[in-house]
Amino acid sequence: MMWKEKYKIGVELIDRQHEELFRRVSDFIGTVRSEVPWEEKLSKIKETLEFMKDYVITHFRDEEEYQAKINYPGLEKHKQIHDDFKAEVAEFVQLFEETGFDEDLVQRFSGKLLAWLINHVAGIDQKIGEFAKKQEVPHHES
């Protein structure tokens, strides 16, 4: 999973967090997909999931605060997308716990996470940057 410069929206804090998210998710998927026996890599998977859960919440909050600051008209819709994603992740986490981190379930979660994050950052979040540019908002103040 490759971070690309074109994913930058021109807001320093958000871009830094996106890049970090890509790095973490990429590491996570690398671990999930590695040939190492499932039991051996499970502790790393759990640790990365715990980190991502907190990081995603922080990132979503910062991104929503920035959108509010620039009066982004898509804020409510964007917040709904974040909330839906958080709910889906919470559902998966509950299932992980109920099934003892079933490998197939974690594989499915990883595939969804991969596609969701690319679309969110490369597609949906770009509109925030485009709006900010039109408003001539000073990007580096966030």
Partner 1 sequence: MKAEYINSIYQAAQDVFKIMLDVGTQKDDVITHEVTDDGANITIKLQGDLSGTILFSFPKETALEMVKIMSGMEMDKLDSFIISALSEVVNIICGNAATNLQKYNKHVDITPPEVLEDPAPKAADNCELLPLKTDIGAVKLNIKLDENDK
Task: Give the nearer residue to partner 1 in terms of CB position, either 96 or 142.
Answer: 96
- Report residue 108 as tokens: 């499915």
Shortest reach from residue 121's CB to partner 1, in Å = 10
Asked if 36 touches partner 1 (CB under 8 A), the answer is no
Stretch that binds partner 1, among 12-20, 54-62, 119-127, 129-137 (CB under 8 A): 119-127
The alpha carbon of 40 is separated from its chain's Cα centroid by a whole number of angstroms, namely 26
Left, alpha or beta for 89 (phi > 0: left; psi -120 to 50: alpha)? alpha
Asked if 116 touches partner 1 (CB under 8 A), the answer is yes
Asked if 95 touches partner 1 (CB under 8 A), the answer is no
Nearest Cα to Cα of residue 53 among 15, 4, 88: 88
Nearest Cα to Cα of residue 14 among 81, 58, 62: 62
Q: Which of 13, 29, 93, 95 binds partner 1 (CB under 8 A)?
A: 29
# residues near partner 1 by CB under 8 A: 21
**Could you give the count of Cα atoms lying within 13 Å of 3 in the half-sphere of its Cβ?**
16
Asked if 123 touches partner 1 (CB under 8 A), the answer is yes
Shortest reach from residue 10's CB to partner 1, in Å = 17
Length of the chain measured in residues: 142
Q: Which of 115, 134, 136, 140 binds partner 1 (CB under 8 A)?
A: 115
Stretch that binds partner 1, among 45-53, 65-73, 114-122, 129-137 (CB under 8 A): 114-122
- CA separation for the pair 19, 133 (Å, rounded): 20
